[in-house]
Amino acid sequence: MATFDFATETSRVSSRPAVAARVANTLSNIYRAWKNRRAFYRLGEMSDAELADIGLTRGDLHVAVDVPFGRDPTAILREIASDRVETIEDIARKVA
């Protein structure tokens, strides 16, 4: 076996864990996206009063449902709710 043959074989063996890690990460991301979508769709089953308790409206759900599959719709809902809280606090400061 020449040195060149050994070097080629070594590089192929060392790339296998990297490929396996990428496949595992991809599968993990797909599972996480599926799980987040399930949680998001459960929010749609809540009443308007329950949604208001967590700072959301039914319209917020319609905005967040349009994101691509890979993005987390619950993250968008979190941004919407926190922006709404900040707006309400700003208005309360102006009144006080």
pLDDT digits (tens, 9 = 90+) for 17-75: 788 899 999 999 889 888 888 888 899 899 999 998 888 899 999 888 888 877 788 88
Residue 24 is predicted with a pLDDT of: 93
The three-state secondary structure class of 1 is coil
Task: Residue 33: name the closest of 56, 79, 67, 78 by CA.
Answer: 67
Long-range contact set of residues 60-65: C-beta below 8 Å, sequence gap at least 24 = 64/40, 65/40
Residue 33 is predicted with a pLDDT of: 84
